[in-house]
Amino acid sequence: MRNRYCVPRILGVEKHEVELDGGSDILGISGGTFVFEAVAMGAPGGPENDNDAINVTGGTDSNVTFKGDVGYANATTGRRVSVTVDDAVLRDMDDNPTVTFAATENLKRLELQNSATVRLDRNANNDHTTIIASQLAIAEDENNVPTARLDINDGFLAINYDGDSPLEDVVAWIKSGFKDVEHAWDGQGIISSAAALDPGAYAVGWAEASVIQPLQYVPFGPDHPFGDFEDIDGTTILVRYTLVGDINLDGTVDDIDISILTGNYLSPGTWGWADGDVFGYDGVVDDPDVGLQAGNYGMSV
């Protein structure tokens, strides 16, 4: 059974309860202001093959906020809701996007099509918004340059994949978003508007969970920023806003981070964030990486 829900145009402020269960349901939003507080999609106990989807296809008059976890069933049934955003362009000169995630979301798939822009909300209480998804897709043009933008702001992203790692794509999206030192974080792909405020001190860090997990740089657990989530495994890509130099992504720059970077200083090869290339995403661990990490020593986000 496949249901397609067409919610009529809503004028003024109304509150609707939408419950979608049994079969693969599609909730389409093509304009107007929507706030998702709690949506019973992918309800626990439902069929494993449910494939519910929320498709946001509105233009400049769309304003959609996800405040509740729409996608998560439970650890057994997994994530079954996909969110696709298309043509949700920047709404105004203040760069406010049309689609905002304001609470932790567990999604089957997050897909940004064409020029879609999605932002994680920066909460006043430092409660970092997190997106956990099995798949992330960001549209690219024919030259593989991203055309859509995911602004993680001061939040976290965990892509808990199966099979081949999408790390290459994720790193390419981060590099595209950073662009270069002069134009830090005004590209398309993955950006952080929080890091853009001070790109010499803050950045988007990334790592395969399998790299930092077994080495126990960060024991995953309730105290770890990614550890509250019971179903993050070794085949997960972790991406977060953090200090330049926070190699193990625990939000602090300390001796652990310093020693890893120092071990790869000026070593030939192409290095990633978890190896010590903490500035510029240039694949090189050299003086700018060392200097900016040292400047953040002892600090936490």
Q: Does 257 bind Ca ion (CB under 5 A)?
A: yes
Q: 35: burial class by Cβ within 10 Å (0-12, 13-18, 19+)?
A: middle
Site map 89..128 versus Ca ion, x via CB under 5 A: ----------------------------------------
Q: How far is the CB of 246 from Ca ion (least distance, A)?
A: 4
Task: Tell the smallest beta-carbon distance from residue 234 to Ca ion (Å).
Answer: 7
User: How many chain residues bind Ca ion (CB under 5 A)?
Assistant: 14
Q: Is 246 in the site for Ca ion (CB under 5 A)?
A: yes
Is 255 among the residues that bind Ca ion (CB under 5 A)?
Answer: no
CB of 163 to Ca ion, least distance (A): 9
Of 250, 261, 264, 274, which lies in the binding site for Ca ion, with binding defined by CB under 5 A? Answer: 250
Site string for Ca ion, 177-216 (x = CB under 5 A): ----------------------------------------
Closest CB 276 distance from Ca ion, rounded Å: 8
Query: Among 155, 203, 179, which residue's Cα sits nearest to residue 299?
Result: 203
- Which two structure tokens, joined as six digits, stand for 142? 């024919």
Closest distance of CB 217 from Ca ion, Å = 7
Q: Is 275 in the site for Ca ion (CB under 5 A)?
A: no
Sequence-ordered list of residues with C-beta below 8 angstroms from that of 127, at least 6 positions apart, any chain: none
Angstrom CA distances, 251 to 165, 232, 279, 300, stand at: 24, 18, 16, 5
Cα-Cα-Cα-Cα dihedral sign, residues 276, 281, 284, 285: negative
69 binds Ca ion (CB under 5 A): no
Strand order in the sheet with 52-56: 2-6, 24-29, 52-56, 81-86, 105-113, 130-138, 156-160, 236-243, 202-208
**Interface with Ca ion (CB under 5 A), residue from 223, 228, 233, 287:** 233
The angle formed by the CA atoms of residues 140, 145 and 99, to the nearest 5 degrees, is 55
- Interface residue with Ca ion among 235, 295, 297, 299 (CB under 5 A) is 235
Part of the chain binding Ca ion (CB under 5 A), chosen from 25-33, 68-76, 145-153, 226-234: 226-234
Interface residues with Ca ion (CB under 5 A) are 160, 233, 235, 246, 248, 250, 252, 257, 277, 279-280, 282, 284, 289
